Amino acid sequence: MKDHHGQIIYVGKAKQLKHRVKSYFTGAHDGKTARLVSNITDFEYILTDSEVEALVLECNLIKKYNPKYNILLRDDKTYPYLMITHERHPRIIVTRKIKKGSGKYYGPYPNATAAKEAARLLNRLFPFRKCRQIPTRACLYHHLEQCLAPCVRDISPNAYEEISKNASTFLNGDQSQILNLLTEKMQKAAESLQFERAKEYRDLIEDLKRLGEKQNITLNDFIDRDVIGYAKTTDQLCIQVFYLRQGKLLARDNFVFPYFEDSEEAFISFIAQFYLERKVWPQEILIPPLESQALTSLFPISIPQKGKKKDLVLMAMSNAQTTLHDQITLELRQQSENFQALATLGDLLNIPAPRRIEAFDISNTAGTLVVAGMVQFIEGKPQRKGYRKYKIQPMETSDDTASMGQVIRRRYARLVLENDPLPDLILVDGGKGQINAALKELDTLGLAIPVAGMVKNDRHQTNELMDSAGNPIPLPRNHPTFLLLGRIQNEVHRFAITFHRQQRAKNMTLSALDGIAGIGPKRKQHLLQHYASLDDIRQASVEELQATGLPQSIAQTIFQYFHPLPSSISTQEERSTP
């Protein structure tokens, strides 16, 4: 479905196209569906040979076009995996990306904490390589017998086969062999009076048992499975996903979003997008009964009829219903509080209740690397698509008030030029100086937008509201309007200071690369696109640097700059000696 600009705003599928399209244009609809229908001016359709093909095509089109009214159905969350790398000296690492041929993957884990805890235990249990790059001498892990030390001796790939096999057994859910082995090692260490070593084994055994205790064992077949249930209202769908790994319930996720088709169709579309995006799924996926069989052709779907598996599905359905009820109750309460807060804010400033609010904050370090952040709140809720970042351009007078004036001028000159909607209220982080700077620029542009200031106390917390004349407006600390102002001020401060820190880190990295021959501005930017920090560049090998697209000579130069030979270090010291 397309709007009057030809923009795709919704993608759906239907067994009977006529009935599906007719349902949108006949009868009464709630607010969300009514908004969708009011924006439809054209549509096109594609015929497929089966419902499965239609389901996959729908997922691909949603991913490609990001339609406005499908956006809450899309999920871009990536889940962590454990990977035993396919290197000569393999490592166990936590990753969110799956690359064919790079290693053997286990998971996905429901969150990074679970994955990191599993990786920590495995690295203590098995002597895999720990270092990202092999050093020139043995480290503490070798002396703790947690690494085979390929840095100081030749280790054949065959030596890791048994270790990898045991690690795979552990990750597949069988911990009994590992516990027996650790118990045997603990007893031998105690008999040989190596009490510290015995204590380490004892602590490791307790960690493994505690890991098993805090996970609710629901099935004892050691199979990775997801259990999915859903609940609905007339326009909202809540989907609950339980993650069971090796028969143990690790965590759950909730997804609440509006839907514009049949609830079962929305549920099917969600599951298809959820797993096709991840490319890897568990051994079994339990769901409630459905009329369509499309999912069973794509994923290991199972619809239990009795027993523990059915109880798990019913539990997921029940939790989804509770979550949906709580979500609706919370939204109604927040809407009421936001309505009250905005109405009071309008009364205090003698303006209509401001529906659209834009707030600004300036961030710098001793007057350098000055940036600004702008956040947008509509109906009291943050609209992150409307957030903007600004690098403050050099000026004769460089202070917060001048910077505020510049960013106000740039923001609203552009809105006027592009004929975009203006806010009902502008909030600036600061007092009378920032307010006057904003009003002056707005007057130059011929705009009459109300401006107010959010003043902080000595502890950098929201203290009071200041009107356009610079008069403080007292508010009780527990008043909804004061709480709303606090949320806005904290959000714009977070947004601005995060941008400033990014610029500062980038500037520091660029400065550190200035001393390398052959590295100009373009290659600096190239390196920053592939590495998050200077430490990552410093630790990269020549091959890894080449893999980013750098010539071998440049990669060698960068590596030698950060890893100088002893002779070059002594030469540099001699030259620096007076």
203 and 87 within one domain:
yes
Dump the DSSP string for 398-466.
Answer: -SHHHHHHHHHHHHHHHHHHHTPPPPSEEEEESSHHHHHHHHHHHHHTT----EEEEEE-TTSSEEEEE
Helix/strand/coil for 535: helix
Q: Is the bond preceding 108 in cis, omega lying within 30 degrees of 0?
A: yes
Q: Which residues of 340-349 are buried (b: 16+ CB within 10 A; e: fewer)?
A: bbbebbbeeb
130 inside domain? yes
Residue at 183 is within a domain: yes
Listed residue (144, 142, 145, 122) closest to 134, CA to CA: 142
Q: Do residues 376 and 418 share a domain?
A: yes
- Is the backbone of residue 148 left (phi > 0), alpha (psi -120 to 50) or beta? alpha
**Looking at the domain assignment, is residue 10 inside a domain?**
no
Residue 566, judged by CB atoms within 10 A of its CB (0-12, 13-18, 19+), counts as: exposed
CA pair distance 501, 284, nearest whole angstrom: 44
144 and 273 housed in the same domain: no
- Is residue 35 in a domain? yes
My answer on whether 166 and 235 are in the same domain is no
The string of pLDDT tens digits covering residues 510-559 is 566 766 877 877 787 778 777 767 777 888 888 888 888 888 888 888 88
| CATH number, domain containing residue 274 | 3.30.420
Cα separation, 420 vs 422, whole angstroms: 6
Task: Indicate whether 547 and 466 sit together in one domain.
Answer: no
142 and 27, same domain (yes or no): no
Identity of residue 288: P
Q: What is the pLDDT of residues 456-492, one digit of tens each?
A: 877 767 778 888 888 888 888 888 888 899 889 999 9
Strand partners, 376: 358
Residues 364 and 482 in one domain: yes
> Where in the sequence is the domain holding 367, given as residue range(s)?
356-504
pLDDT < 50: residue spans in the chain: 73-74, 212-218, 567-578
Q: For the chain, how many structural domains are there in total?
A: 5
In a domain, residue 8? The reply is no
Q: Are residues 544 and 427 in the same domain?
A: no
Is 476 within the bounds of a domain?
A: yes
Q: Please check whether residues 204 and 241 belong to one and the same domain.
A: no
- Tokens, residue 481: 């309007």
In a domain, 204, yes or no: yes
Q: Does any domain span residue 338?
A: no
Q: Are residues 380 and 500 in the same domain?
A: yes
Residue in the block written with tokens 């401001």: 354
Same domain, 369 and 437: yes
Question: What CATH number did the domain enclosing 399 receive?
Answer: 3.30.420.340
At residue 574, the pLDDT reads 39
CA dihedral for 526, 531, 533, 535, sign (positive or negative):
negative
Who contacts 24 (Cβ-Cβ below 8 Å, separation ≥6)?
33, 36, 37, 40
Task: Tell me, yes or no, whether 312 and 403 share the same domain.
Answer: no
CATH code, 530: 1.10.150
